[in-house]
Amino acid sequence: SDGSVEQKFSLREVLDTFRQCLSENKEVYLQHYVSGWRGLVKFLNSLGSVFSFISKDAVNKIQILVNHQNGENGGHYITVQSMVKYELENGLVDLTKRGGHPESGCRTLLRLHRALRWLELFLERLRTSNEDSKTSVMCADAYNESLAQHHPWVVRKAAGVAFCVLPGRQAFFEVMNVGPPEQVVAMLGEALPLISEVYQITEELYSHHNMLDLP
Ligand code: 1PW
C-alpha cells in the first residue's frame, strides 16, 4: 500500500492485535495485550471528550505495565504467565491489602482484564443489536454485568453519565471505521472469540492463583 497515505483508525486492527496475544501454548503476550489496549484507548478517545476520563485510567495502567516491561526485570514481563510467576515468587504482589506494591503488574493487569470483560459483553451486544438498539443501554447493561461490581459509587455514577452521551448505533459503527454495518457485524463475529479466549485464559490463571480480588 502507499506509505504516504496515513491509515485511518480502524477497530479491526485493534481487534487483530488480540489475535497476536496468544502464543502457541496459549500464553498471553503482554506486549500485544498492551498494544490492543492502546488501540482501544484511541477508539474511546474518538468517541468524545467525556470518554477521556474513562480512558485516562486505562492509559495509566498501560504505562505501568510498559514500565515493568522496560525495567531491569523486563525479561520476566514477556507473558502474563511469566509475570504472575515472577511477581508471586518474589513477593511483589499485595495479596490481601494494599501495601508496598501498589503498582504490581498483577493488580494492574487485573483492572484491564476486568475492563476487557466489559468490552467483550458490550461488543457482543452491539453485534447482535438491530437498528433501534440504543448503544447507551447496551453499554450500561454490559457495564453493570461486569466492571460495575468492582467500582465505587462515584465511578459508577460518572460512567453512567458518559454512556448517556455515547453516539447512536450508526455513528458508533462509523467511528469503528470498518465498513457498512454488515461488515462491522462480521468483524465483531470474528474478533469476539479471540478476545473471549484471551479473557478466559487470564481469568483461569488469576483464579488458579487466587488473585481475582487483588487490592
Ligand atoms: C465503550 C467501550 C468500552 C471499553 C472499556 C474501557 C475501560 C475503561 C475503564 C473504566 C475506568 C473508569 C475510571 C477508573 C476507575 C479505577 O478506579 C479502576 N480502573 C479500572 C480500569 O476499572 C480501578 O483501578 P484502581 O483504582 O484499583 O487502580
Per the CB < 8 A criterion, the answer to whether 8 and 33 are in contact is no
Residue 111 predicted with pLDDT over 90: yes
Ligand 1 pocket member 54 (CB < 6 A):
yes
Distance CA 83, CA 215 (A): 17
Q: Which residue has the cell 452491539?
A: 126
Residue 104's identity, in one-letter code, is S
Across 53-91, b (16+ Cβ under 10 Å) vs e yields ebbeebeebbebbbebbeeeeeebbbbbbbbbebbeeee
What pLDDT does residue 210 have? Answer: 98
State whether residue 101 is helix, strand or coil: coil
Provide φ and ψ at 99, rounded to 5°: -155, -125
Give the model's pLDDT for residue 170.
92
- How far is 50 from 80, CA to CA, in rounded Å? 31
**pLDDT beyond 60 at 2:** no
Where does residue 26 fall: left (phi above 0), alpha (psi -120 to 50 degrees), or beta otherwise? left
Q: What is the structure's pLDDT at 118?
A: 95
- pLDDT above 90 covers a percentage of the chain that reads 78
How much is the average pLDDT of 146-173?
93
Reported residue count of the chain is 215
Tell whether ligand 1 has an atom less than 6 A from the beta carbon of residue 122. yes
pLDDT value, residue 46: 83
What's the CATH class of domain 11-208? mainly alpha
51 ligand 1 Cβ < 6 A = no
Helix (H, G, I), strand (E, B) or coil at 92: coil
In the predicted model, what is the mean pLDDT of the chain? 92
Copy the grid coordinates of residue 165: 452521551
- What integer pLDDT is reported at residue 1 of this predicted model? 45
The ipTM assigned to this model is: 0.90
**Section 134-141 average pLDDT:** 96
Residue 119 Cβ < 6 Å to ligand 1: yes
Least confident of 40-49, 70-79, 171-180, 199-208: 40-49
Q: Whose alpha carbon is nearest atom 1 of ligand 1?
A: 44
